[in-house]
Amino acid sequence: MNVVFALSAIVILLATIENKMPSGMIGAVGVMAVVGYILNTLGNKTPIVNQYFGGGAIVVIFGSSYIFHSSVVPTEVVENVTTFTKSGGFLSFFIASLVTGSILGMDSKVLKKAAVKYIPVIAGGVACAFLFAGLVGVVLGENFFDSIMLIALPIMGGGMGAGAVPLVEIISGSTDLSQDMLMSKMVPALAIGNAVAIVIAGLLSKLGQRYPSLTGEGQLIIGQENNADEAQEEEFPITVTSLGLGALLAITMYMIGTLLHSVINMHPYALMIISVALIKVSGLMPRDLERSAHTWSKFVLDNLTPALLVGIGVVYTDLDQIVAALTWANLFMVFATVSGAVVGSAIIGRMMGFYPIEAAITGGLCMANMGGTGDVAVLASCKRMGLMPFAQISSRLGGALMLILATSLLQLFL
């Protein structure tokens, strides 16, 4: 296996450096898989990094961002990876596979119980994030309200396209602040917040190892499995047919979300989550199909995660922007926001019967990161990819709630 990978890596890296990589999926997947595997291995074997900072995941994200935006990698290769990750749909395919497989692999009773109690966890994280950011802003000489609106709100708002951009339009339309000024303030906060969330995810995983009572090791509800139906425990053969059916189900669920989006003003991911959850709790899906979807999600998770993290590093992680925004004031307020999200969601999560660390990761960090890409990075950092459905609820439904909250705050205080 190692010999085969080494030979493949030599060929692919040589073709990359010589700018002979073919365009499209074959070229993009080749270089992303090789670079992702190498950086992931290095991160998992590097002391301190592998114990406290997310290991391979964080090294892949920041390492690939540096490598691909240096003079080593030809521009054509970078553009191909960017196109494949974004408009090529690689990220959407990955998320659809994990969400579909994770939800269909849950116990129906646990899913119903978690859904009812999860929104308060998000609300607790948001409340503490706003409070912490405002107080730190006041200590640093900033306005309490401005610290919330310009730092905390965009960080908790669900990323760039679904968060910062509409927030800028909402705030600029209600104030005399220009869109350029608002973007220059919000975008660096988002970038730093995303990086801080990834690092804290790794630290929370380490905390769980030291204090096992705080974590379910990927389970959300205390005392119950949240990612494995009883049917999953039965022996289920992995075949080409089962993998194919699982992939087809993931694509179908994403298409359902897309079709519903044309008539319902919600993000396709959110509509996909609701659709899959309804199908699961209704019992309409045959068990074999549920197992196929779950098996496919595991296949994607085990084989494609490092490659996707390379795409996130190349496309969504601007190291220059992060470094330029690293003023002490920005750093403290961003850290206060993310820390508040963790503390609030952990406390309320424990009150709701959830493990504090899993609640903090999904209800806190997955609100504070940059949407779907941030969810993948955060969950990879703490090795809890099975929590993807809850992470997506935070990013999509929680992000939508932030837009409503922004409008309400502006109406109340301006």
Instruction: Output the pLDDT for position 231.
Output: 40
pLDDT of residue 208 exceeding 90, the answer is yes
326: three-class secondary structure by DSSP: coil
Query: Among all chains, which residue has been given the structure tokens 């006041």?
Result: 138
pLDDT of residue 232 exceeding 90, the answer is no
Q: Give the Cα separation of 368 and 374 in Å (integer).
A: 9
104: three-class secondary structure by DSSP: helix
Rounded (10°) angle between helices 287-316 and 240-261:
70
Confidence of residue 229 (pLDDT cuts 50, 70, 90): very low
Q: Which helix (H) or strand (E) holds 377?
A: helix 371-381
Determine the average pLDDT of the residues in 342-348.
96
Q: Is 123 exposed, middle or buried (0-12, 13-18, 19+ CB in 10 A)?
A: middle
Phi, psi of 189 (to 5 degrees): -60, -40
pLDDT of residue 359 exceeding 90, the answer is yes
55: three-class secondary structure by DSSP: coil
Instruction: Output the pLDDT for position 228.
Output: 44
Confidence of residue 124 (pLDDT cuts 50, 70, 90): very high
pLDDT of residue 160 exceeding 90, the answer is no
* Mean pLDDT value across the chain: 83
pLDDT digits (tens, 9 = 90+) for 302-329: 888 889 889 888 887 777 777 776 788 8
Cβ-contact 266, 400 below 8 angstroms? yes
Check residue 223 and report its DSSP letter: T
pLDDT of residue 167 exceeding 60, the answer is yes
Instruction: Output the pLDDT for position 252.
Output: 95
199 residue type, one letter:
V
Whole-structure pTM value: 0.70
Give the residue, 200 or 270, on which the prediction is more confident: 200
In degrees, rounded to 5, the angle at the alpha carbon of residue 67 between the alpha carbons of residues 64 and 73 is: 120
Extract the tokens encoding 315: 């496309």
Determine the average pLDDT of the residues in 369-380.
82
Q: Give the Cα separation of 124 and 344 in Å (integer).
A: 5
Instruction: Output the pLDDT for position 230.
Output: 42
80 residue type, one letter:
N
Instruction: Output the pLDDT for position 71.
Output: 79
Q: Give the Cα separation of 326 and 316 in Å (integer).
A: 18
Name the least confident of 41-55, 185-199, 216-230, 323-337. Answer: 216-230
241: three-class secondary structure by DSSP: helix
What separation, in Å, do the N-terminal and C-terminal C-alpha atoms of the chain show? 63
User: Which residue blocks in 86-164 are alpha helix, DSSP H?
Assistant: 90-104, 108-139, 144-147, 153-155
Instruction: Output the pLDDT for position 233.
Output: 45
